[in-house]
């Protein structure tokens, strides 16, 4: 038996007109007060109490289980049935409530930085421009207890303190949603833990105390109480957030044992509903549904303590004789869904359950036990409180005062606006224990509109999918009228196409409106004031006008409010005609893609819901291989024998002249090799090595400086001879790395070895003697010093007749291992060998050819500063040579000044860089747009390609286009932009640049936690099947990284990403690299990029275990001469927010290091850094 059914009663249906008529009959204000239960009119400014719950619903009937709220508010005040939040998530909704501005005007669109949270609130300047400050300026005392904003936490509560409060006691993150372990911070005192106490009971006592303070001060006051109930319980376990059902006070744990989520038509329906990711959801099973019922019961139970707190507040107001002069508001920041449309518990959508929220007001002259159908939203709250406090309204308010008295309500029935604009950006995710996927591209704009004869919701997703619901016939939003299977000809008494044209035009105004335009949007479309409602706009004389309006359309999806993503804006393109006319049949049925701003946004597919729902890309058939690498190289050499193939200005011009032949036309300083020289040099070396007995398919092991021209010659040699090239950093020959050298010799069993200098030879000889391994061809890059068995490459004679040794270059074995590259091993400390076959490489180069010259009119010239042992060096240099371009080596390695001077002097057309390099280059004192004007493409790679990089390139490289690059050592050229078809602007989603799409012959899929193919825009692990991928690592290391199924052999990349509905592929980063601080996932690359922007500081970021934070973030920097540790810490917080705050900064010198420890691929070994940092900390403690 339930405890409260006897108390549950429906709101009175007493009409506002009846109240107004009665007031008029009495004929006096006193009569109106008596009718409303008021005894007298006071001249004192009224007090205001505002109770704001967290995630409380209307449509799941939670108010029916709060008898004390009913007693004090619903039965003594007015319920606003059509009150809405405009952004259905905590922080943006609260900021809107406090500022009177829609989220697109606050630019606070998320709960955490960089797009939301308390740090963003402060950064946007609102700490001096919001309701508490304004009320204090008007003479009110302001009191607050409970949750203020997300990301207002135990670390930043004083950075700065929230302004505008006479006295406060804030509930702080990361304990806001921990019902039995809360942390409160009073005024400017340190936070105090209340572990073991029930949070709402703690808050109730604080609220009562603040109320007593307010009474004692004898001034008008505003008191806000913001309990965290009925939000999900969140536990912070070593930095990892765990969601669970809300927790009740012990005294309420046995209530409502048989209550279930209301089984409305949209609850876990048999057929999918909605659009975008919602329409792709699977139906929940019985176990899932049962748990959701438990979650629902826990919400109701958690609200019982709130109910009791409300009762306590009213008792104290009554005891202080304040009820007659106090307005009491009860509302929630946003709504909530549980199982509707098959969704897990959560919010963040445009569904009615998420946006329609409670609002009850009791106070002087407020109608008693009344329900009104006036439309209102959180944008109106600040203006309403201004009106109560008799403060002049601000022009920049997007909302207007909510009518509170019977005459005002009656008057507004015919005058007040009829709409609410709804908007959201970013992810959506469940808050239960089932299906915790983050659904990307949950960005949309919508409009909720009511009037005589219509009740509609219209929404456009950032994917440009459209939804329209007739809420009078379909209040649970099951039938999207813009899908073929639900389509109707008439809605709200008018042809559907005409209705949608009007709604779209209204949404175009609303989606970027400010101030008065938000309050009266129809006037922006019809300045004469003759159209003030949808019904007015439906007049046939306006048909042509609305047919021609610019339509709402997104350019791309983004996690925050970025105007560039949001397509046409009314203030720029409103009330304009589309070129050639854009009539309804074109827009709805997509007759001609030429009318679309973005041809890939196929509205026919979008509106009919037939798009492939699964995150899998198939590139189709592979391109046939026709030529070997060596044949292709030599073909180019025959066509362009005198064209320069290699440049290295810091190396001598006569380097290896005896091998490649002398150049007679090189007036510049430094080395230049033509294609004829590369081909001849490769053939010569191959001939000599073959004379020493080196066989095809054997290993040529080269220990080289990180960047040098000699690598190019050895690569051409290896392909001529048909041997496997393995390039290792020469530092592997150092005595301290003897184990590493032993590993390579034992594992590879090379027949040929190349070292830089004669003194390096001894290290190889010692290991070979120990292993009893014989090398047939031992070569040094210098002239040699007579070391037994070693020959100086400089002594090779270019006049040798290569035919004497019969190098066979025609019988190509495409399955031969052409090169072995080693992975970074930055996390495990053990690089893995990747044997790439000739087939792997040729397939990759055939399907992705992004080089072509369009500005300078000269051949492609790329700058190469990456280590010879890196995959990016092999990939980009080989592609450049395949089309007859020039590779310019920066053999000194990367420095901003070196890149800039080389780019200008060598007229570089293509630059391959990683984000930290880009930041260092554009911030360098010698940078100018003139110095990089020759650059046509900037290839940007890394774990994550951030959207901001596009703007950096566009701003600074005036003739260049950014090309996002996704690659891996295990396979080159799986994803990319084929045949130079790179879009003018790379698509963006969730703050990331698209990496292109899958290329011919390859298949890429996103795999979820259930080992099933994920849905579009669902994040998961990236798996690839492709002829460019290796079949396994050498020595069968990490064998479980590869697997077979009926489709073939797959590789698990270790990356996380998603695929959008336009077949664009995005990478979120490496699973293993994420640092979780206070539950916030922090990719180190973000911080490293920011630090690099500070004068080119090289940095590596690691995480260390921390009991309180889960993990603390530590940066190791190359030096601290350019910036102090505190300056670097401030830089990170300024750019990324406090969730990314560095705990410590160490210089290499402090760790006893001269340079970053790197492995053979040149990547920083973070394991070694972590050991060094822990050693220093251990000594300090």
pLDDT, tens digit, for every residue of 991-1026?
Answer: 678 887 777 888 999 998 888 999 988 888 999 999
Asked whether residue 900 is domain-assigned, the answer is: no
pLDDT in tens, 69-105: 999 999 999 999 999 999 999 999 999 999 999 999 9
Does 365 lie in the same domain as 271? Answer: yes
Q: Does residue 709 share a domain with residue 600?
A: no
* Single residue among 364, 392, 417 that ends a domain in this structure: 417
Task: Mark whether 481 and 563 lie in a shared domain.
Answer: yes
Q: Is the pLDDT of residue 1157 over 90?
A: no
pLDDT of 700: 97
pLDDT band at 501 (very low <50, low <70, confident <90, very high): very high
- CA dist 385 and 131 (Å) reads 9
Element (H, E) at 638: helix 629-639
104 or 571, higher pLDDT: 104
What number is the average pLDDT over the span 931-936?
A: 92
Residues 674 and 589 placed together within one structural domain of the fold: no
By 3-state DSSP, what share of the chain in percent is helix, strand and coil, each rounded to 5? 35, 20, 45
- Known catalytic residues are 90
Distance CA(64)–CA(120), nearest Å, equals 36
- pLDDT band of 152, cuts 50, 70, 90: very high
Higher pLDDT, 1035 or 754: 754
Per-residue pLDDT tens over the stretch 385-444: 999 999 999 999 999 999 999 999 999 987 888 999 999 999 899 999 998 888 989 999
The 10 Å Cβ neighbour count of residue 283 is 12
Q: Quick one: three-class SS letters along 733-773?
A: HCHHHHHHHHHHHHHHCCCEEEECCHHHHHHHHHHHHHHCC
Q: Write down the pLDDT at residue 890.
A: 92
State what percent of residues in the chain have pLDDT above 90: 60
More confident residue, 599 or 911: 911
Per-residue model confidence (pLDDT) at position 138: 97
Q: What is the pLDDT of residues 274-317, one digit of tens each?
A: 999 999 999 999 999 999 999 999 999 999 999 999 999 999 99
| 1114 Cβ neighbours under 8 A, 6+ residues apart | 1101, 1102, 1103, 1104, 1142, 1143, 1144, 1145, 1146, 1173
Which of 468, 488, 490, 492 is CA-nearest to residue 552? Answer: 468
Report whether pLDDT(109) > 70: yes
10 Å CB burial of residue 650 (0-12, 13-18, 19+) is: middle
Q: Is residue 468 part of a domain?
A: yes
d(CA 758, CA 760): 5
**Most confident of the ranges 15-24, 299-308, 567-576:** 299-308
Distance of CA 51 to the CA centre of its chain: 33
Supply the range of the domain harboring residue 570.
452-611
Could you tell me the pLDDT band of residue 487, with boundaries at 50, 70 and 90?
Answer: confident
Amino acid 632: pLDDT: 86
Question: Does residue 36 form part of some domain?
Answer: no
704's enclosing H/E stretch is strand 699-704
Determine, yes or no, domain membership for 1059.
no
Per the domain annotation, does 642 fall within a domain? no
Same domain, 596 and 703: no
Residue 996 lies in a domain: no
Q: Most distant CA pair in the chain: distance in Å?
A: 121
1179 contacts: CB under 8 Å, gap ≥ 6: none
Q: What is the pLDDT of residue 604?
A: 28
- Mean pLDDT is lowest, of 167-176, 530-539, 595-604, for 595-604
**pLDDT (mean) for 359-380:** 97
C-beta separation of 73 from 360 below 8 A: yes
CA distance 738 to 760: 12
Q: Which residue's entry shows tokens 């301290």?
A: 736
Better pLDDT: 128 or 828: 128
Q: Which of 371, 398, 417 is the last residue of a domain?
A: 417
Read off the pLDDT of each residue in 687-691 and give the average, rounded to a whole number: 91
Looking at residue 759, what is its pLDDT? 82
Work out the mean pLDDT of the chain and round it to a whole number: 85
Query: Does residue 443 form part of some domain?
Result: no
Q: Is 348 helix (H, G, I), strand (E, B) or coil?
A: coil
Exposure string (b/e) for 554-580, b if CB count within 10 Å is 16 or more? bbbbbbbbbeebbbbbbeeebeeebee
Residue range 1100-1133, pLDDT digits in tens = 899 998 877 788 999 999 876 777 888 888 888 8
Together in a domain, 599 and 675 = no
Domain containing residue 1174: CATH number:
3.30.300.30
> Are residues 151 and 248 both part of a single domain?
yes
Residue ending a domain, choose from 811, 831, 859: 811
Which of 309-323, 819-833, 900-914 has the weakest average pLDDT?
819-833
What is the pLDDT averaged over residues 184-189?
A: 97
Most confident listed range (200-204, 676-680, 791-795) = 200-204
Position 613 scores a pLDDT of 77
Residue 25 has pLDDT above 50, yes or no: no
Residues 490 and 384 in one domain: no
Distances (CA, A) of 57 to 347, 356, 383: 10, 8, 24
> Predicted confidence band at 853 (pLDDT cuts at 50, 70, 90)?
very low
Q: How many domains does the chain have?
A: 4
**Does residue 153 have a pLDDT over 90?**
yes
Distances (CA, A) of 1085 to 78, 915, 940, 1032, 1115: 53, 9, 13, 28, 11
Q: Do residue 462 and residue 554 come from a single domain? A: yes
Any idea which of 29-38, 1010-1019, 1136-1145 has the lowest mean pLDDT? 29-38
Based on the domain organization, do 399 and 467 belong to the same domain? no
**According to the model, what pLDDT value does residue 667 have?**
63
Q: Left, alpha or beta for 117 (phi > 0: left; psi -120 to 50: alpha)?
A: left
CATH number for the domain that contains residue 726: 3.40.50.980
> Would you state the structure tokens that stand for residue 92, as one six-digit string?
């943006």
pLDDT at 805: 41
Q: Are residues 470 and 387 in the same domain?
A: no
**1083 within a domain of the structure (yes/no):** yes
Residue 4: the pLDDT is 32
380, 471: one domain: no
């Amino acid at each position: 038996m339930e405890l409260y059914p006897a108390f549950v009663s429906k709101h009175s249906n007493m009409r506002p007109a009846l109240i107004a008529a009665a007031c008029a009959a009495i004929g006096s204000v006193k009569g109106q007060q008596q009718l409303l239960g008021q005894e007298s009119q006071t001249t004192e400014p009224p007090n205001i109490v505002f109770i704001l719950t967290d995630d409380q619903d209307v449509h799941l009937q939670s108010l029916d289980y709060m008898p004390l709220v009913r007693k004090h508010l619903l039965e003594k005040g007015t319920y606003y049935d059509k009150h809405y939040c405009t952004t259905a998530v905590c922080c943006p909704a609260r900021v809107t409530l406090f500022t009177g501005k829609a989220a697109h005007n606050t630019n606070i669109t998320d709960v955490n930085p960089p797009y939301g949270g308390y740090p963003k609130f402060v950064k946007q300047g609102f700490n001096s421009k919001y309701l508490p400050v304004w009320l204090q300026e008007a003479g009110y005392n302001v009191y607050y207890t409970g949750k203020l904003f997300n990301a207002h936490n135990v670390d930043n509560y004083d950075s700065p303190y929230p302004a505008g409060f006479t006295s406060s006691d804030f509930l702080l993150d990361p304990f806001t949603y921990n019902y039995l372990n809360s942390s409160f911070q009073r005024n400017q005192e340190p936070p105090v833990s209340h572990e073991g106490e029930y949070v709402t009971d703690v808050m109730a006592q604080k609220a009562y105390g603040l109320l007593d303070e307010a009474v004692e001060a004898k001034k008008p006051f505003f008191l806000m109480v913001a309990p965290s109930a009925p939000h999900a319980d969140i536990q912070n376990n070593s930095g990892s957030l765990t969601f669970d059902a809300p927790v009740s006070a012990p005294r309420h744990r046995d209530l409502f044992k048989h209550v279930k989520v209301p089984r409305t038509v949209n609850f876990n329906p048999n057929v999918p509903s909605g659009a975008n990711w919602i329409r792709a959801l699977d139906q929940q099973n019985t176990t899932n549904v049962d748990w959701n019922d438990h979650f629902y019961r826990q919400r109701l139970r958690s609200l019982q303590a709130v109910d009791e707190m409300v009762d306590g507040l009213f008792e104290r107001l009554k005891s202080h004789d304040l009820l007659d002069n106090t307005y009491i508001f009860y509302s929630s920041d946003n709504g909530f869904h549980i199982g509707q449309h098959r969704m897990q518990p959560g919010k963040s959508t445009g569904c009615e359950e998420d946006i329609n929220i409670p609002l009850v007001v009791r106070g002087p002259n407020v109608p008693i036990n009344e329900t009104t159908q006036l439309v209102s939203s959180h944008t109106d709250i600040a203006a309403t409180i201004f009106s109560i406090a008799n403060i002049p309204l601000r022009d920049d308010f997007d909302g207007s005062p909510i009518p509170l008295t019977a005459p005002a309500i009656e008057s507004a029935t015919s005058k007040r606006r009829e709409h609410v604009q709804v908007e959201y950006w970013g992810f959506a995710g469940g808050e239960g224990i089932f299906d915790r996927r983050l659904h990307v591209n949950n960005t949309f704009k919508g409009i909720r509109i009511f009037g005589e004869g219509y009740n509609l919701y219209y929404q456009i997703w950032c994917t440009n999918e459209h939804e329209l619901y007739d809420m009078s016939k379909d209040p649970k939003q099951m039938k999207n009228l813009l899908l073929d299977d639900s389509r109707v000809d008439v809605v709200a008494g008018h042809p559907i196409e005409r209705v949608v044209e009007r709604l779209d035009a209204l949404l175009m105004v609303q989606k970027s409106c400010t101030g008065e335009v938000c309050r009266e949007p129809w006037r922006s479309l019809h300045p004469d004031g003759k159209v003030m409602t949808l019904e007015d706009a439906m007049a046939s004389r306006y048909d042509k006008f609305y047919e021609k309006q610019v339509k709402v359309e997104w350019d791309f999806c983004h996690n925050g409010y970025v105007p560039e993503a949001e397509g046409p804006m009314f203030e720029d393109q409103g009330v304009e005609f589309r070129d050639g006319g854009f009539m309804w049949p074109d827009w709805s049925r997509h007759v001609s893609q030429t009318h679309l701003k973005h041809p890939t946004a196929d509205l026919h597919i979008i509106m009919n819901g037939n798009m492939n729902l699964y995150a899998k890309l198939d590139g189709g058939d592979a391109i046939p291989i026709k030529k070997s690498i060596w044949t292709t190289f030599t073909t180019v050499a025959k066509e362009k024998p005198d064209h320069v193939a290699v440049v290295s200005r810091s190396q001598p011009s006569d380097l290896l002249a005896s091998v490649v032949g002398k150049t007679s036309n090189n007036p510049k300083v430094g080395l230049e090799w033509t294609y004829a020289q590369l081909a001849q040099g490769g053939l010569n070396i191959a001939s000599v090595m073959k004379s020493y007995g080196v066989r095809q398919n054997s290993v040529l092991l080269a220990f080289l400086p990180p960047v040098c021209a000699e690598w190019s010659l050895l690569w051409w040699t290896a392909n001529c001879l048909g041997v496997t090239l393995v390039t290792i950093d020469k530092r592997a020959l150092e005595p301290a790395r003897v184990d590493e050298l032993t590993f390579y010799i034992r594992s590879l069993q090379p027949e040929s070895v190349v070292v830089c200098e004669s003194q390096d030879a001894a290290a190889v000889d010692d290991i070979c003697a120990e292993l009893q391994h014989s090398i047939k061809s031992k070569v040094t890059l210098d002239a040699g010093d007579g070391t037994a068995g070693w020959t100086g490459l400089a002594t090779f004679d270019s006049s040798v007749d290569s035919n004497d040794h019969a190098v066979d270059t025609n019988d190509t074995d495409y399955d031969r291992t052409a090169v072995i590259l080693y992975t970074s091993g930055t996390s495990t400390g053990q690089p893995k060998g990747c044997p790439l076959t000739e087939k792997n490489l040729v397939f990759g180069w055939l399907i992705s050819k992004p080089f072509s010259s369009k500005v300078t009119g000269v051949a492609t010239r790329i700058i190469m500063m990456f280590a010879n042992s890196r995959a990016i060096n092999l990939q980009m240099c080989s592609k450049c040579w395949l089309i007859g371009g020039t590779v310019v080596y920066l053999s000194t390695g990367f420095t901003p000044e070196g890149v800039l001077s080389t780019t200008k002097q060598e007229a570089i057309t293509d630059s391959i860089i990683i984000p930290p390099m880009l930041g260092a280059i554009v911030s360098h004192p010698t940078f100018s747009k003139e110095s990089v004007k020759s650059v046509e493409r900037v290839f940007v790679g890394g774990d994550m390609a951030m959207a901001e990089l596009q703007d950096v390139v566009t701003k600074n490289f005036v003739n260049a286009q950014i090309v996002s690059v996704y690659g891996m050592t295990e396979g080159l050229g799986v994803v990319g932009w084929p045949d130079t078809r790179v879009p003018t602007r790379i698509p963006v989603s969730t703050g990331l640049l698209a990496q292109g799409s899958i290329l011919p012959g390859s298949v890429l899929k996103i795999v979820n936690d259930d080992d099933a193919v994920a849905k579009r825009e669902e994040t998961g692990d990236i798996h690839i099947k492709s002829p460019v991928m290796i079949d396994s690592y050498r020595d069968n290391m990490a064998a479980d990284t590869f697997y077979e199924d009926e489709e073939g052999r797959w590789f698990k990349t270790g990356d996380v990403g998603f695929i959008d509905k336009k077949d664009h592929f995005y990478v979120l980063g490496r699973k293993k690299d994420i640092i979780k601080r206070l539950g916030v996932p922090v990719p180190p690359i973000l911080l490293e990029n920011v630090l690099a922007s500070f004068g080119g500081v090289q940095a590596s970021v690691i995480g260390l275990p921390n009991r309180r934070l889960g993990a603390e973030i530590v940066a190791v920097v190359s030096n601290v001469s350019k910036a102090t540790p505190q300056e670097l810490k401030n830089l990170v917080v300024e750019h990324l927010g406090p969730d990314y705050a560095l705990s410590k900064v160490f210089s290499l010198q402090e760790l006893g290091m001269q340079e970053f420890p790197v492995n053979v691929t040149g990547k920083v070994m973070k394991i070694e850094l972590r050991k060094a940092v822990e050693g220093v900390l251990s000594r300090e403690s």
